[in-house]
Amino acid sequence: MVQTFLQEQILEKLNALVVVLNKYGNAEYVSGSAGNLLGYDPEQLTGENWWEVTRFSRPEGERMKNKILALMRKRENTTESFEHLFKTKQGGQKWIRWNVSFLNEEQIIGIGYDVTEKKNQEKQLIESNQLLQRKHQEITDSIDYAKRIQQNILQSKTFIESIFKKSFVLYRPKDTVSGDFYFFYRDEESSYAIAVDCTGHGVPGAMMSMVANSIIKEVLLNKKAKTASQILFEMDKELFKAINSYTEEINNDGMDVSVIKYHHKSSRLHFAGALRPMIIVRKGEVIELKASRYPLGFFDEVQKVFEEQVVMLKEEDHLYLFSDGYSDQFGGTENKKMNRKNFQELLKIAAEMEINEQESFLDYSLNNWKQDEEQTDDVLVIGIKV
């Protein structure tokens, strides 16, 4: 009697339940710990009651009983483990993990442990993961929608070639959407190309690129700005108004921009840059037209100077506008930035190719440089052959 009492005490301390079933599947013994775990007296669970009282339906009890009988018929001298959901006397639920083995030829013994807390934690984790997956999908869907909007405002290859017949645009966002932006325009006398590198990349950069699209159209179509430097001045004013109109706090988002104007009859190139230079490759020589040291945005209280440079172009000249994403890409054998000098060397090589081959060459060269490294920034390179 004392030994039986100690056994029951030990089982309760271990939060364990012991059940012995005969070859017909009836419970011959249920430990007293059933009261603590399930709320039933052991006598209430013996015989067929084990399958009826602790289950949520008779068919469910029958399925579990048949599973155990099939196990007994196999008569393998191994321990089987599984988890079942039980109904408590109070109508609650308990998950029990069973280790079942043969006690003798006529009986099997099951030792069960309460794993309800573990199962609830697993359920909460699954639900949390499902919530995160839904949120991630919603964010991904929103970004994909933003990508479609951005692609719709980007000018097509056909349109660009109607402005500059021999041209290409290498456009590689770091993320799904980009903070780099380009715009081409033509009036009766001149053709224009504008390369924009907005603050940040991804969604913030893409939002700024939408602003860039809006203010460029305002400056070119409504304000009728004609010179490269005037375009930058007017863009700077419009940018400040666009991002600071409805707040007292000054917003320091900005853009680095390069603008060219090509006069058709005279072959004069007008260039002005806000922190973004441009490159002319002429018969193997690299000519860099430097930019002014101010970006658009930022420094509203400073009197900015956007110097306009004029160059007489020659036949076979190649013009390049670009963001800093290409030259800032990490890679190579020492995992360093490509840097401006190496980028200029690539442009010099590209200029020896047909214009329709240059985009593929520069794209390949970028991949070859970065190898398995993550893309550092948005990439934009505009090439034009005179």
Q: What is the CATH number of the domain that holds 23?
A: 3.30.450.20
Answer yes or no: is 100 within a domain: yes
Domain boundary among 118, 140, 167: 118
Looking at residue 344, its pLDDT comes to 97
Answer yes or no: is 241 within a domain: yes
Looking at residue 203, its pLDDT comes to 80
Backbone angles phi, psi at 33, to 5 degrees: -65, -10
Enumerate the β-bridge partners of residue 282: 285
Same-domain status, 311 and 194: yes
Same-domain status, 307 and 358: yes
Looking at residue 7, its pLDDT comes to 52
CATH code: domain of residue 196? 3.60.40.10
Q: Classify burial at 84, counting beta carbons within 10 Å of its beta carbon; exposed 0-12, middle 13-18, buried 19 or more.
A: middle
Enumerate the β-bridge partners of residue 102: 108
Answer yes or no: is 142 within a domain: no
Same-domain status, 49 and 91: yes
Domain boundary among 118, 134, 161: 118
Same-domain status, 84 and 201: no
Enumerate the β-bridge partners of residue 384: 167, 319
Answer yes or no: is 126 within a domain: no
Answer yes or no: is 133 within a domain: no
Other CB atoms within a 10 A radius of the CB of residue 243 amount to 18
For 198, 233, 294, 297, 299, the CA distances from 302, given in Å and listed in that order, are 20, 13, 9, 11, 5
Query: Which pTM was predicted?
Result: 0.73
Pairing of strands 190-198, 180-186: antiparallel
Looking at residue 146, its pLDDT comes to 81
Looking at residue 12, its pLDDT comes to 52
Question: Which residue type is seen at 141?
Answer: D
Same-domain status, 103 and 170: no
Other CB atoms within a 10 A radius of the CB of residue 48 amount to 14
Question: Which residue type is seen at 39?
Answer: G
Question: How many domains does the chain divide into?
Answer: 2
Residue whose entry in the numeric block shows the structure tokens 């009988």: 69
Same-domain status, 93 and 207: no
3-class secondary structure, 32: coil
Same-domain status, 248 and 307: yes
Domain boundary among 118, 135, 164: 118
Same-domain status, 279 and 373: yes
Same-domain status, 288 and 376: yes
Same-domain status, 91 and 152: no
Answer yes or no: is 328 within a domain: yes
Answer yes or no: is 130 within a domain: no
**Spatial distance between the Cα atoms of 309 and 306, rounded to a whole number of angstroms:** 10
Same-domain status, 258 and 355: yes
Please give the average pLDDT of every successive group of 10 residues along the chain, which has 386 residues: 48 73 92 89 93 90 89 80 91 92 88 91 93 90 83 93 96 90 95 92 82 93 94 92 67 86 96 97 96 84 89 96 96 93 97 96 96 93 96
**Spatial distance between the Cα atoms of 237 and 204, rounded to a whole number of angstroms:** 20
Structural domain span for residue 295: 148-385
Answer yes or no: is 143 within a domain: no
**Dihedral, 155, 383, 214, 174 alpha carbons, nearest 10:** 90
Same-domain status, 246 and 182: yes
Residue 8 and residue 29 in contact, taking contact as beta carbons nearer than 8 Å: no
What's the length of the chain?
A: 386
3-class secondary structure, 209: helix
